[in-house]
A and B are shown apart, each in its own frame.
Chain A
Amino acid sequence: MGAAPASRDVTSYGMGLAAPLALFFLLFFVAPLLQLLWLSLHNDTTALHWGLGQYLHFLTDPFSLSVLGSTLLLGAEVTAVCLVLGFPIAWLYQRVGPKLQTIIILIVLLPLLTSVVVRTFAWIVILGRQGIINATLQSLGIIDTPLKLLYTQFGVVLALAQVQMPLMTLPLITALGRIDPNLDDASCSLGAGSWRTFFRIVLPLALPGVIAGCTLTYAAAITAFITQSLIGGGQMLFMPMYLYQQASTLQNWPFAAAISIIFLLAVLAVVSVFTTLGRMSRGYGGA
């Protein structure tokens, strides 16, 4: 290490080093976003007349609103499924030996190692009319006609939950790992049963991880274009596909831009609710 002048503020190094990334973001994130905003403020497809017509159209159109609503609901459902299924895995991870931990982490990370397209097609194979589930149930004589699993809300939630599971499990594993295992014993020795220990001690202390996991899962689930479209098919329409249709198929760029901005604001609203909760729970984070 060179002998840098002692008077120089160490934080000033950081700023200079961040400049390339800042430039990159400015060019390829902020600029397109501003262009999108500019575009959305035009009433006609050729973007010649200024106006809030696109927003008015979206907000007064029951169909558009229902797409937004079902997308936000989808996110909530996927997040709930991931939380309910992911928490026990994370909890288990903290209580098994190092060998089993490696296996669990591998299982958790495995979805990230294969392409989303591949995973989604696998779900089509599993959920289809002649798919694994239907074939098994039929051969066992439990059902006569195949169940409709593909192109349903259930199918989309199931597939998305599997695809996004690592985003929930990894923050939970980290959060649970930071909890002193003696707290469990202390709670127990004071007469608390396992449910009280879970709800009064483990869950409140894991809350920062729960919120981080929910934020990531939610944001990823509602914007998951490929899985939503392939499993949902033509019958289920969510915001990313709606947006794509308006832009690519109908060439209605100002309306697509307005959809984007509204979607962005809706997601930001939900995420800021999560982060507010997170900030409230951080009061005791530094245990």
Chain B
Amino acid sequence: MAETQGGRSLVVDAVTHRYPSGALAVENINLDIKGGEIIALLGPSGCGKTTLLRIIAGFIAQTQGRIIIGDDIVDALPPNKRAVGIVFQNYALFPHLTVSDNVGYGLAARGVDKATRQREAQRLLELVQLPTMSERLPRQLSGGQQQRVALARALAIKPSILLLDEPFAALDKNLRLDMQIEIKRLQRVSGITTLIVTHDQEEALSMADRVAVLSHGKLEQFGSPSDVYDRPQTLFVNTFVGSTNRMPGVVVAADRTEAKVRLDAGAEIIARPAGGALTEGGRVTVCIRPEHLQFVGDETGFAGVVGMSLPLGATVVHEVTTADGSGVKVSQARIGETRALENGAAVRLAPLAPSLANAFPATL
């Protein structure tokens, strides 16, 4: 086996896949992933992210487009020739083989002799911090330990790409954070290009260098976690990643960088045209995150009535009903002595900054 191939690039070039029934699973996906990056494929279930993962692994032959790993177009290669490591959601450890044989399985398939295999398996088990478990059977391990074994097994073949399918879904919350740190550490050590499929936005934002957000088989946005969170390009991204208030309104004036929007709630605010150019007089949906709204003392914002205040530890969330009857949430950091708001109190609200209000052309 050659030396480590960690850090090879991965290009998903205009990949489209159609099910035999004719339905589109993924449509024209383009991803240009640099060697050594951690990428998260984020989207709700049924968005096509698992299909894309299986296309990259070679289990599904895409209808159109190419997969390029390093300098090689791998479309003609079956999964067992692609050297793509996969950690399955349920780990898919071989139940009848010991931990050591599980880890060494890929090496055995490459004709590596038993002694070398065991030595390599032991080295990898030490890497994933399970050096004493080599003779156990998978069912004798906890969920987190099984995942470490699955990871060691995938890394044993020195894959050029590592694919993780919902890797933390089956773990409880405390263990999840441990494993996220662990995987990030291993990825830094090996420098291996890693793709994580997840429906959990926190996971995607915390683990990945860049996040690809998918919805209904289409790539909505591909960018850094802060791009996706702070500068969403579509209404879907803005609502799926993090929480947001959706406020309908009409464009009063717009240029490429700023738009003046008259909210139905009764105020004119400056917003960022997030999904492309806006036309004057067109209806828009303005998204403002709860933490990007503030209470203002003057007449600049829109009016509302406080319904309920929920103290959530570090933040306090207020539910405010606006003049047009819709509800918005405002989240305030608890700094020192936070002003208590009574039920029914009249307030005025405004976005913290124009760049934090994203205006999207209304779809309905």
Residues of A within 8 A of B (CB): 180, 182-183, 185-193, 196, 200-201, 204-205, 283-284, 286-287
8 nearest CB pairs, A to B: A287-B95, A190-B106, A284-B96, A182-B92, A186-B92, A192-B109, A191-B109, A188-B79
Q: How many A-B residue pairs have CB under 8 A?
A: 75
Q: Is B248 at the interface (CB under 8 A from chain A)? A: no
B108 vs chain A, min Cβ distance (A): 8
* Cα–Cα, bound, A283→B110 (Å): 27
* Cα–Cα, bound, A286→B137 (Å): 11
Residues in B with CB closer than 8 Å to A286 are 95, 139
Which of B85, B88, B94, B105 has the most chain A CB within a 10 Å cutoff? B94
* Contact among B78, B92, B96 for A205, CB-based, below 8 A: B96
Q: Is B52 at the interface (CB under 8 A from chain A)? A: no
B83-107 toward A: CB 8 Å interface, digit per residue (1/0)?
1111010101111100000000110
* Cα–Cα, bound, A286→B85 (Å): 26
Query: In the complex where A190-B106, A191-B109, A205-B96 touch, is A182 in contact with B88 (Cβ < 8 A)?
Result: yes
Q: Are A284 and B137 in contact (CB under 8 A)?
A: yes
Residues in A with CB closer than 8 Å to B57 are 185, 189
Q: Is B157 at the interface (CB under 8 A from chain A)? A: yes
Query: In the complex where A182-B90, A185-B59, A185-B88 touch, is A190 in contact with B109 (Cβ < 8 A)?
Result: yes
* Cα–Cα, bound, A188→B58 (Å): 10
Residues in B with CB closer than 8 Å to A283 are 96, 137
* Contact among B79, B108, B109 for A185, CB-based, below 8 A: B79
Residues in A with CB closer than 8 Å to B78 are 188
Query: In the complex where A192-B80, A284-B95, A287-B95 touch, is A187 in contact with B105 (Cβ < 8 A)?
Result: yes
* Cα–Cα, bound, A180→B91 (Å): 10
Interface residue count for B (Cβ, 8 Å)? 30
B23 vs chain A, min Cβ distance (A): 16
Q: Are B80 and A191 in contact (CB under 8 A)?
A: yes
Q: Are B96 and A196 in contact (CB under 8 A)?
A: no
Query: In the complex where A286-B139, A287-B139 touch, is A189 in contact with B86 (Cβ < 8 A)?
Result: yes
Q: Are B80 and A188 in contact (CB under 8 A)?
A: yes
* Cα–Cα, bound, A284→B96 (Å): 5
Q: Are B88 and A186 in contact (CB under 8 A)?
A: yes
Q: Are B94 and A201 in contact (CB under 8 A)?
A: yes
* Cα–Cα, bound, A234→B204 (Å): 76
Q: Is B153 at the interface (CB under 8 A from chain A)? A: yes
Q: Are B80 and A189 in contact (CB under 8 A)?
A: yes
A201 vs chain B, min Cβ distance (A): 6
* Contact among B79, B90, B95, B139 for A189, CB-based, below 8 A: B79
B348 vs chain A, min Cβ distance (A): 55
B144-181 toward A: CB 8 Å interface, digit per residue (1/0)?
00000000011011000000000000000000000000
Residues in A with CB closer than 8 Å to B109 are 187, 190-193, 196
* Contact among A180, A191, A193 for B90, CB-based, below 8 A: A180
* Cα–Cα, bound, A246→B332 (Å): 97
* Cα–Cα, bound, A190→B137 (Å): 19
Residues from 56 to 81 in B contacting A, C-beta threshold 8 Å: 57-59, 78-81
Q: Are B86 and A191 in contact (CB under 8 A)?
A: no
Q: Which residue of B lies closest to A281 (CB)?
A: B96
Q: Are A186 and B80 in contact (CB under 8 A)?
A: no
* Cα–Cα, bound, A204→B101 (Å): 14
* Contact among A183, A196, A200, A204 for B92, CB-based, below 8 A: A183
